[in-house]
Structure 1
């Protein structure tokens, strides 16, 4: 016997009702609304863009205005570290809350609207910030807004799309960060040096895109008797998935951690590398980084949708993720060997190929090893820790790697750092092999 729930959507959709068994397991997925992937992609890119434009550019400008040249880096480190801590906590907590949310607006839509509100407030606070405490508050609010939006958007994929059709949506979710970086920085640079407009424009686009996705989606309300049971012990489990009970999820988490270690190795030290090794002018190094980001993102955009469709067609995920990790590792190795800026850009293009293939199928693979597929947001939040933790781990480990073989003529060993990143990516490929239940 099956029990059907209306799936009321506040008049926003005419999609067929989802059908659930008595235990709540999904029997069928309804047709996806035309244009859903476009609106989803715009929202994910815009939300990432608002966060990354702040983290990469406008926070630095505000930190310099507040702390002066001498203390600007200290102010920035404090602000971003506290923001990162809230992100680490926020992803699984907001994911669990989303999975448990009742009401006629559905489980995901309220968090898209919350994202819009928090991003708007965070931007206004950042504009008004005249001291460190307000600046910290602004970035925390902006970060939590971005977490709300990205958690909700990511959960929509397993909510609404069958496993065999998740290749392209996976590419869209995965490309959100690099596309967002390009979009956010482009919008901010359009209106420089007006710091108010540089903060407001990317945030405004994110607000509009989040609201648009919230209004567009068909978000089935959660029946009260299907609401995940809440106990304090279960709440503590928000930050934990047992590797013994769910080994495939654990291997996927470890694989993503290793891949993003390699990503963070380049992202965190790219400016110093270009200045100290490639002898870029510090005054124009931002342009050099922007060109590299465009190449990385451009190559990813070309190959991610292509390989996402191929993965869906052949019904396989693991070979694509493994190949992507190896290509990415090769790109990092080329970065370590690059003896000129054009060679560096070539290495970045190879990394972009690996990143494109990886983003095409990684998220799709993850959705197929979730411990609780009917309540995916919490576990996707835990998976997001694997991509955000390396941003904190790499700066802690990097000084030891950079000091290997250091001398007066060569005080910093970037080769050791990038080789370590490449080895981490190879481990990421190997960690895919033990995953079961996914081809």
Structure 2
């Protein structure tokens, strides 16, 4: 039987969000994305080059790997802790303050880092700060809003990553080559966003702590797929779609240089333009479909359709022969990705096993967003070598087609979900 979008309540104790809720939620989410993505894409590499140019790629691999692992572990752990928090500040708001501290530590350590260990500490602090804000932003949807009003807020959170990437990289370009400013400005935006959401969020204190023992600690990282099959289908769908996202995001620079013959000195501008096209397409269509999803009381058709559009875009990118064709493909990818993220988040909030304590399970769902960033670099070399020749040593067509197939499979896995229409 499908869950009702009309009658399901928001979280216990909620009086509904205050005016400006969507703005402050978006500010915090976009700021977190800026603080997370600018180091991952740009400043971490620049700092590693300062430390040791000959070993910079190795340093980045180690630092990014440890930071990503810490972030993956933090998502469900921080969610579990927020579910159990009975502070007078509320259940979720203390974790915004935690993020503020972590952002400050992360930026400070990157500024002063003289070795790989300190740079790794910077990445761990920054990436876990991102996890902390993301846990809050997703959990407050179930705390504050009934299911039939979650579309716009879901769209705001879904769009935060592409918007954060564009705004963060644009800001970094404005102050380049001043590395200090490139490090501090994204962190300052994230701190400001977290503090403003902390100040404005109506977050009732938790009334009682859920039971907790050693078995519950292990369950932090697990939802039984046999008992909660719809949650498992949604998790697997998101993982597959984000495998496609990671394929094009991580390897488009190499694709532009090796296939479309961009000179290295021009590729940064091309990547920024493609990111801008993707973000514009996502920003244009995601809010519209999120509101329409609320109005029609339907989630699955939008999520399935978005994943299919995303797969088509990746398929077109696989056979693009010019930068113009690639931009068209990226625009279609952005349309599908934006709509998918906007509506899928709303769908997922209706599938959590315990809506009153949603932080842990939404934290687990967020792992499906980030895990592909580690999986794709591990499997991409094997895919890129398929049919490789001396003239074409990297098979990007195969890589993007695998991403498209992952998107198609992600769409298919939404269909078995029964408890949400």
Above 0.5 in TM-score? yes
TM-score of the two chains, using structure 2 as the length reference: 0.96
- The 1-side partners of 2:10 and 2:188 are apart by 38
Residue 113 of structure 2 corresponds to residue 129 of structure 1: yes
Instruction: Select 1:237's aligned residue among 219, 223, 227.
Output: 219
Instruction: Specify the alignment match of 2:42 in structure 1.
Output: 57
Residue 266 of structure 2 corresponds to residue 284 of structure 1: yes
- The 1-side partners of 2:99 and 2:172 are apart by 20
- The 1-side partners of 2:379 and 2:11 are apart by 44
Instruction: Select 1:94's aligned residue among 67, 71, 78.
Output: 78
* Larger RCO of the pair (alpha carbons < 8 Å, separation 6+): 2
Instruction: Specify the alignment match of 1:426 in structure 2.
Output: 408
Give the match's secondary structure for 1:370: coil
Instruction: Specify the alignment match of 2:237 in structure 1.
Output: 255
Q: Residue 155 of structure 2 contacts residue 286 of structure 2 at CA under 8 Å; is this kept in 1?
A: yes
Give the match's secondary structure for 1:431: helix
Alignment of 1:79-118 (within 5 A): 79-118=63-102
Post-superposition offset of 1:414: 0.5
The number of equivalent residue pairs is 413
TM-score of the two chains, using structure 1 as the length reference: 0.92
Change (3 A) 1:354 1:249: same
Q: Following TM superposition, where does structure 1 have runs of at least 4 consecutive aligned residues deviating by more than 4 angstroms? A: 24-29
Q: Residue 46 of structure 1 contacts residue 183 of structure 1 at CA under 8 Å; is this kept in 2?
A: no
- The 2-side partners of 1:58 and 1:148 are apart by 21
Instruction: Select 1:205's aligned residue among 189, 192, 204.
Output: 189
Change (3 A) 1:28 1:437: farther
Instruction: Specify the alignment match of 1:20 in structure 2.
Output: none
Q: Note the residue ranges of structure 2 that are not aligned, 5 or more in a row.
A: 1-8
Instruction: Specify the alignment match of 1:274 in structure 2.
Output: 256
Instruction: Specify the alignment match of 1:246 in structure 2.
Output: 228
Q: Output the aligned Cα RMSD.
A: 1.2
Post-superposition offset of 1:283: 1.0
Post-superposition offset of 1:281: 1.0
Instruction: Select 1:188's aligned residue among 172, 194, 213.
Output: 172
Instruction: Select 2:315's aligned residue among 317, 330, 333.
Output: 333
Instruction: Specify the alignment match of 2:20 in structure 1.
Output: 35
String of CA shifts for 1:136-189, please: whole Å, max 9, x gaps. Answer: 111111111111111111111111010011111111111111111112112222
Q: Note the residue ranges of structure 1 that are not aligned, 5 or more in a row.
A: 1-23
Post-superposition offset of 1:32: 2.5
Instruction: Specify the alignment match of 2:279 in structure 1.
Output: 297
- The 2-side partners of 1:59 and 1:420 are apart by 29
Instruction: Specify the alignment match of 2:418 in structure 1.
Output: 436
Change (3 A) 1:216 1:27: closer
- The 1-side partners of 2:138 and 2:299 are apart by 18
- The 2-side partners of 1:25 and 1:154 are apart by 13
Q: Residue 10 of structure 2 contacts residue 145 of structure 2 at CA under 8 Å; is this kept in 1?
A: no
Instruction: Select 1:154's aligned residue among 129, 138, 142.
Output: 138
